[in-house]
Amino acid sequence: MRNLVLLFLRFGHFILFVILEIFCLYLIVNYNRKQRDIWANSANIFWGYSSEKWNDWTNYLSLQDNMDELAFENAKLKEKLINYELSPIFEKDSLTKLNNQYELLTARIVSNTTDRPNNYLTLNKGIKDGVQKDMGVISKNGIVGIIRDVRNDYAAVNSLLHRRTFISAMIKRTGAFGELRWIGTNPQIVNLGSIEKHNTVVVGDTIVTSGYSTHFPPGLMIGTIEATELPSGNNFHDIKVRLSNDFGALRQVEIVKNLKQAQQLELEQKVKGE
Amino acid sequence: MNNVITQNILRLFFFVLVQGVVLQQAKLGGTFFNYISLFIYPLFLLLLPLRISKIALVLIGFGLGMLVDGAYNSPGVHTAACLVTAILRPLVLAILEPREGYNVSLGLTVKSYGLPWFLKYAGILLFIHLLVYFVLEIFTPIYIIEIIGRTIASFIFSLFLMIMYMIIARPSV
């Protein structure tokens, strides 16, 4: 208490000064028309600016949620488009009757490699989300790989950059189809085999999925032909395809559920067995 | 002692009256003189006795500012400037203290300490007073040029006015 009195004796005039100055500023911005307008205006600008910045920041924090939401929406739209294109013509005018064959499920990549001879990805969706072995995985730029194994919360994917991933692909322009496989060197180039030599192959042609496998719907972008040659005495073109997907930059993917996969496989197995 | 108090009270009314009635209207024609404001009343704070307490100085500054603001119908603007002048007066006096110190029995006038000393004393405090006043009067940092320009112009004319007063009225306390 004594210290407080001393403090006031010493700095009382300054404390009084500060209090009175604040009182003056209060008077100025409340009872002077011009100053009040300027004050109100500046305050508006300041608070407007501050709340805008704050909103920017909170938006940034919820970016991941927004992204997931958008990706989910995107998947639903793509799913509709794929199924719509597949459905027979007479059903097209009634959207409610669409006979859905494919469902898309968004997932985020948890881990990814591109520099090994056999590359894998891990996704944050698993059995609890309905993921099963042998489902295809695609991204907005093209195909990614095939689900190899699933656990409750995660799924392991054989990347397209895996030497035992074979994907049925076709040249969009001619419809000639072959098999896509990676030879394990450049993560941007895959080989397209089994295109017979009577087919014309042009550098720059688009390669899409054929839809003959059960993993992917037809017509999904894979890449473009980078180089082609026909070795003498060989029946097949040796085609190098530049992938449209940059595997190093993948973040968000979609898992393709083919609702008729089991049916198709069973039938194929049966025919083969006979 | 009584003489000092009477003198100061009379001076207070004189300055506030001159400021409120004459100098407020002193628009000597043209836009140029709207630019310049003439100030005499800060002189009252400058001429208060040397030994006055700091708290009293702040309170008197507040009162003086309120009186002038009443005349100008600008609540707070002159008062804020007066408070700054009042709080800084002891500091400026300490800086300008003559080699032989202040004589307690003398007033802080031209007569006591000479014109050069008084010019420095009044100049520093008047400039700060005007700067604070125009900052609060114009109230927009964008017009910094106008704030400084009006401060300097008003400073020259007001200081001249104060020296005129000191020479003509020759106050001794």
List the CATH code of the domain at A167-245: 2.40.10.350
Average pLDDT, chain B: 89
Q: In the structure, what pLDDT confidence band is assigned to residue A26 with cuts at 50, 70 and 90?
A: very high
Average pLDDT, chain A: 85
Instruction: Please state the length of chain B.
Output: 173
Cα distance from N-terminal residue to C-terminal residue, chain B: 10
**Nearest CB neighbour to A13, from listed B75, B79, B87:** B87
Residues of B in contact with A27 (CB under 8 A): 75-76, 79
Q: Where is pLDDT greater, at A99 or A131?
A: A131
**What is the structure's pLDDT at A241?**
92
CA angle B79, B8, B86 (to 5 degrees): 35
Nearest CA in chain A to B65: A24
Query: In A62-144, which residue ranges form alpha helices assigned H by DSSP?
Result: 63-86
**What is the structure's pLDDT at A250?**
83
pLDDT at A97 over 50: no
The residues near B124 (Cβ < 8 Å, ≥ 6 apart) are: B92, B96
Q: In the structure, what pLDDT confidence band is assigned to residue B98 with cuts at 50, 70 and 90?
A: confident
Interchain proximity A32–B75, CB inside 8 Å? yes
pLDDT digits (tens, 9 = 90+) for B120-140: 999 999 999 999 999 998 888
User: Rounded to an integer, what distance in angstroms lies between the CA atom of residue A209 and that of residue A207?
Assistant: 7
Q: Encoding tokens for residue B99?
A: 């080699």
Nearest CA in chain A to B77: A28
User: Rounded to an integer, what distance in angstroms lies between the CA atom of residue A105 and that of residue A154?
Assistant: 13
Q: In the structure, what pLDDT confidence band is assigned to residue A72 with cuts at 50, 70 and 90?
A: confident
| % of chain B beyond a pLDDT of 70 | 95
DSSP B21: I
What is the distance in angstroms between the Cα of B84 and the nearest Cα belonging to chain A? 8
> Exposed, middle or buried: residue A242 (CB in 10 Å: 0-12, 13-18, 19+)?
middle
Mean pLDDT of A28-33: 88
Q: In the structure, what pLDDT confidence band is assigned to residue A235 with cuts at 50, 70 and 90?
A: confident
Q: Where is pLDDT greater, at A274 or A167?
A: A167
Domain-by-domain residue ranges, chain A?
2-61, 69-163+250-259, 167-245
Q: In the structure, what pLDDT confidence band is assigned to residue B69 with cuts at 50, 70 and 90?
A: very high
**CATH superfamily assigned to domain A69-163+250-259:** Rod shape-determining protein MreC, domain 1 (2.40.10.340)
| % of chain A beyond a pLDDT of 70 | 95
> Exposed, middle or buried: residue A247 (CB in 10 Å: 0-12, 13-18, 19+)?
buried
**Nearest CB neighbour to A28, from listed B54, B80, B83:** B80
User: Rounded to an integer, what distance in angstroms lies between the CA atom of residue A45 and that of residue A15?
Assistant: 31
Residues of B in contact with A17 (CB under 8 A): 58, 83, 86-87
**Nearest CB neighbour to A20, from listed B62, B74, B139:** B62
